[in-house]
Amino acid sequence: MTKLAPSPELSDHIQSWIDDLPTNRLGDWPNRLCKDYNALPCHYRSLFLWCLCPDGSVIRLDLDSLGGGGDSESDPLIVYATVFGGAQAHPELLEILPPLPPDTRVCEKCGGLGYIKTAADESDSCPRCDGKILVRE
């Protein structure tokens, strides 16, 4: 299993990003759930939310389940996608981006976002990688 090892500085950053998550509005409930787990939301796909904890562990929250489940994630593809997704908002996270899993590459269709922005500024899950960010060769 990929174990991410953030530096103490990066770990402090992750903690402060978690502390700064907005939680006041009704639609902020996923953030409130993340705060319960002290985890930063990074990667979202079909009712699952993957989050990064200050110690570098990655957890999977099931948004359809009461309490979120909070299972630890070990699939290297998803760990990569979680860090990559989080780095869209916090480029400092690239420091702990693990090597690409063997025989995979970043999806060329969405450029690693996992979704396609449409003209109406809505986003659809990428049809090539199904929001997984990575595709197998």
SS3 72: strand
Give the nearest distance from C-beta 117 to Zn ion in angstroms.
12
The letter for the amino acid at 115 is Y
Sign of the torsion angle spanned by Cα atoms 43, 122, 47, 63? positive
Distance CA 85, CA 42 (A): 5
Q: Name the residue nearer to Zn ion (CB basis): 13 or 45.
A: 45
> In the 8-state DSSP scheme, what is residue 28?
G
Q: Name the residue nearer to Zn ion (CB basis): 79 or 110.
A: 110
Q: In degrees rounded to 5, what are phi and psi of residue 30?
A: -60, -35
Q: Name the residue nearer to Zn ion (CB basis): 70 or 101.
A: 101
Interface residues for Zn ion in 90-109 (CB under 5 A)?
Answer: 107, 109
H or E element: which one contains 18?
helix 8-19
Q: Name the residue nearer to Zn ion (CB basis): 83 or 107.
A: 107
Give the nearest distance from C-beta 62 to Zn ion in angstroms.
22
Nearest by Cα to 4 from 87, 93, 119, 120: 93
Sequence-distant (≥ 6) Cβ neighbours of residue 137 within 8 angstroms: 103, 104, 105
Interface residues for Zn ion in 110-129 (CB under 5 A)?
Answer: 110, 126, 128-129
Interface residues for Zn ion in 6-45 (CB under 5 A)?
Answer: none
Residue 134 as a binder of Zn ion (CB under 5 A): the answer is no
Q: Name the residue nearer to Zn ion (CB basis): 97 or 106.
A: 106
Give the nearest distance from C-beta 84 to Zn ion in angstroms.
12
Where along the sequence are the contacts to Zn ion (CB under 5 A)? Answer: 107, 109-110, 126, 128-129
